[in-house]
């Protein structure tokens, strides 16, 4: 009886082992016939593949995170150059929520702030270190009320207009903002805190930038315009807006602006004159459908005796300055006795040149 019981238990165990192998599927049956060495090698390869897959997945996740972090948007910041001029610079800032971009650009105007990592050579931020933006409030009329911390007041008197111009021009790059007003720690102020510049009515681009009176004899017979002159730092060129008075009326405004560019900036400004001597307009400028057409004599060309090349700096100065005028969207330049005019890169300047969306970018 004891022998029968043991025989029955042995048979039951065999059936159980076989049943277990069948329930695991055909792959398990094949594995049973695989030599131990091959099983180990395959297991090792599988483990390496799994590790490699995990590493690839991790790298992919890191790449995705890096892409998110590196997403930027070009913004225009008005900074100080080495001559103390307020100058637009187009810089890549981290992409921000639409309701935070105004606050972001202000934070990038603060000395020692996040702008430090992207400052162009020769430029510096304009707001005193430690300045914080407490809040922004956009009114229905386009006035943006800027509330700043008390650290804002820690600037020199001679820098007051520069700070005001930088704030104004940086914020009015947004279509919804027409002018700015100021609060300090929640309290409205009618004047700037150091040199008492009046700001009760708000401050806009109409107030000007890098204001230069010049030698205009009769202010009542002159007009205020903003023109752009080139400047240079090391081997880099950029354009500086200057608001000045020129002898002009509504009938000869375009000619007066061109003449101001041809004569060049006053020597005190330390800016460049890129026009040749004896450059003249041969016809009265014509305006049609947003395009202003100018016809010059051959002296406007870089080297008119050998080739019809128009300097990039000459063209840029004309376009930036003249498109500041209401209604002017593009400038077409023609040269007397020349059928074609070429850029410095060798391409024909056949179409009117429009104002760039942003100034002082590598593409303009």
pLDDT tens for each residue of 186-204: 999 999 999 999 999 999 9
Contacts of 133 (CB under 8 A, 6+ apart): 103, 106, 107, 146, 147, 148, 149
Report whether pLDDT(174) > 60. Answer: yes
* Res. 28 pLDDT band, cuts 50 70 90: very low
Q: pLDDT: is 7 or 178 the higher one?
A: 178
What integer best gives the mean pLDDT of the chain? Answer: 84
Q: Are 348 and 341 in contact (CB under 8 A)?
A: yes
Report whether pLDDT(16) > 60. Answer: no
Beta-sheet strand order (sheet of 286-288): 286-288, 291-296, 330-335, 353-354
110 class by beta-carbon count within 10 Å (0-12 exposed, 13-18 middle, 19+ buried): buried
* pLDDT of 29: 28
Six-digit token string for 346: 């060798």
- Model-wide pTM > 0.85: no
Report whether pLDDT(79) > 90. Answer: yes
Report whether pLDDT(40) > 60. Answer: no
* pLDDT of 57: 54
- DSSP code of residue 240: E
* Res. 306 pLDDT band, cuts 50 70 90: low
Using alpha carbons only, what angle is made at residue 128 by residues 125 and 130, rounded to the nearest 5 degrees?
A: 110
Instruction: Give the Cα separation of 281 and 308 in Å (integer).
Output: 17
* Res. 49 pLDDT band, cuts 50 70 90: low
What angle separates helix 253-263 from helix 312-322, to the nearest 10 degrees?
140
* pLDDT of 61: 56
* pLDDT of 24: 33
Instruction: Give the Cα separation of 110 and 256 in Å (integer).
Output: 37
Contacts of 135 (CB under 8 A, 6+ apart): 147
């Amino acid at each position: 009886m004891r022998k029968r019981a043991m025989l029955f238990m042995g048979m039951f165990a065999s059936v159980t082992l076989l049943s277990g192998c069948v329930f695991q599927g055909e792959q398990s049956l094949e594995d049973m016939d695989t030599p131990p060495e091959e099983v180990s090698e395959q297991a090792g390869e599988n483990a390496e593949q799994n590790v490699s897959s995990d590493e690839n997945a991790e790298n992919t996740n890191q790449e995705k995170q890096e892409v998110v972090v590196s997403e930027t948007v070009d913004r225009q910041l008005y900074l100080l150059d080495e001559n103390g001029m307020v100058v637009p610079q187009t810089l890549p800032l981290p992409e921000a929520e639409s309701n935070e971009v105004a606050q972001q650009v202000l934070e990038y105007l603060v000395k020692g702030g996040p702008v430090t990592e992207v400052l162009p050579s020769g430029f510096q931020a304009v707001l005193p270190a430690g300045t914080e933006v407490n809040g922004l409030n956009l009114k229905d009329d386009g006035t943006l009320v800027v509330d700043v911390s008390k650290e804002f007041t820690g600037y020199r008197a001679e820098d007051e207009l520069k700070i005001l111009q930088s704030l104004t021009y940086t914020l009015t790059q947004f279509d919804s903002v027409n002018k700015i007003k100021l609060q300090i720690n929640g309290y409205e102020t009618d004047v700037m805190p150091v040199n008492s510049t009046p700001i009760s009515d708000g401050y806009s681009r109409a107030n000007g930038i890098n204001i230069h009176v010049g030698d205009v004899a009769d202010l009542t017979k002159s007009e205020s315009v903003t023109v752009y002159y080139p400047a240079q730092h090391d081997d880099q060129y950029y354009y500086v807006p200057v608001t000045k008075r020129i002898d002009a009326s509504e009938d000869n405004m375009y000619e007066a602006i061109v003449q101001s560019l041809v004569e060049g900036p006053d020597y005190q400004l330390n800016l460049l004159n890129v026009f040749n001597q004896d450059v003249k307009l041969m016809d009265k400028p014509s305006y049609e459908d947003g395009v202003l057409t100018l016809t010059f004599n051959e002296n406007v060309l870089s080297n008119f005796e050998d080739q019809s090349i128009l300097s990039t700096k000459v063209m840029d100065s004309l376009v930036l300055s003249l498109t500041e005028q209401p209604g002017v969207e593009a400038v077409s330049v023609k040269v007397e006795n020349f059928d074609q005019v070429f850029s410095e890169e060798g391409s024909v300047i056949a179409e009117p040149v429009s104002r760039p969306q942003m100034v002082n970018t590598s593409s303009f």
